[in-house]
């Protein structure tokens, strides 16, 4: 089985060593590099092409949100997990806008990190339940008092099925199994959903579905 290639980006060497130990204890993970600054993270993501980037928010030279935005701008399919001590909704929201696929708190366990990397590598999205409502409310706030419970007619029934599964947190394999289609079909529908909803990634697509009332919290 091809290992999941992981890039670690954190300015604290001791914490990076801890992450490396966690990842290397899992046979299916391979740590391909370590970055101590946001600038290094962007360069190494470009050169090493990792499957998943574990990114701290507070980084020298370029913070984690800006580094994530730079990485996803070059590689829209890049999978970045923000790993931080901060619970403020501003950080969560900005990270998602930058294209992050996951957001984990550093006070979690090693098992949480392993599960997040696995899920995001397979196309999933990770957001702690206690933080999800903050993000959804921010999207609703930006949308004003819009109340739109009718699905966008531009989305086909198949695309809406995929979108609702994304909002439930399913990854591509789970969606394919549930809908009895191939993962390639799911990927194609995702591309159409992103284009039609004018979003950059599955996290933003899921939040759009929730904001419009197409899927419940």
Averaged pLDDT of the chain: 82
Cα separation of 169 and 206, whole Å? 8
Q: Which of 159, 207, 203 is nearest to 185 (CA)?
A: 159
Return the percentage of the chain with pLDDT > 90, whole number. 31
pLDDT of residue 135: 64
Domains and CATH numbers, the chain: 4-136 (3.40.50.2300), 146-211 (1.10.10.10)
Structural tokens at position 40 = 């290094």
The 10s digit of each residue's pLDDT in 82-109 is: 988 876 656 777 787 788 888 888 888 8
């Amino acid at each position: 089985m091809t290992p999941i290639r992981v890039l670690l980006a954190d300015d604290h060497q001791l914490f990076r060593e801890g992450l490396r130990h966690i990842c290397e204890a899992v046979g299916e993970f391979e740590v391909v590099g370590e970055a101590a600054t946001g600038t290094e993270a962007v360069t190494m993501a470009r050169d090493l092409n990792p499957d998943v980037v574990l990114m701290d928010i507070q980084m020298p030279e370029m913070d984690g949100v800006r580094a994530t935005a730079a990485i996803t701008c070059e590689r829209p399919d890049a999978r970045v997990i923000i790993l931080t001590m901060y619970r403020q909704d501003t950080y969560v929201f900005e990270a998602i806008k930058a294209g992050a696929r996951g957001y984990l708190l550093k006070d979690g366990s090693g098992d949480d990190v392993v599960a997040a990397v696995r899920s995001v590598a397979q196309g999933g999205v990770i957001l702690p339940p206690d933080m999800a409502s903050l993000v959804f409310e921010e999207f609703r706030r930006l949308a004003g008092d819009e109340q739109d419970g009718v699905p966008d007619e531009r989305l086909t029934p198949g695309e809406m099925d995929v979108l609702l599964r994304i909002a439930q947190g399913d990854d591509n394999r789970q969606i394919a199994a549930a809908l009895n289609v191939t993962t390639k079909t799911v990927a194609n529908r995702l591309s159409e959903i992103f284009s039609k909803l004018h979003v950059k990634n599955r996290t933003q697509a899921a939040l759009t579905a929730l904001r419009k009332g197409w899927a419940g919290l």
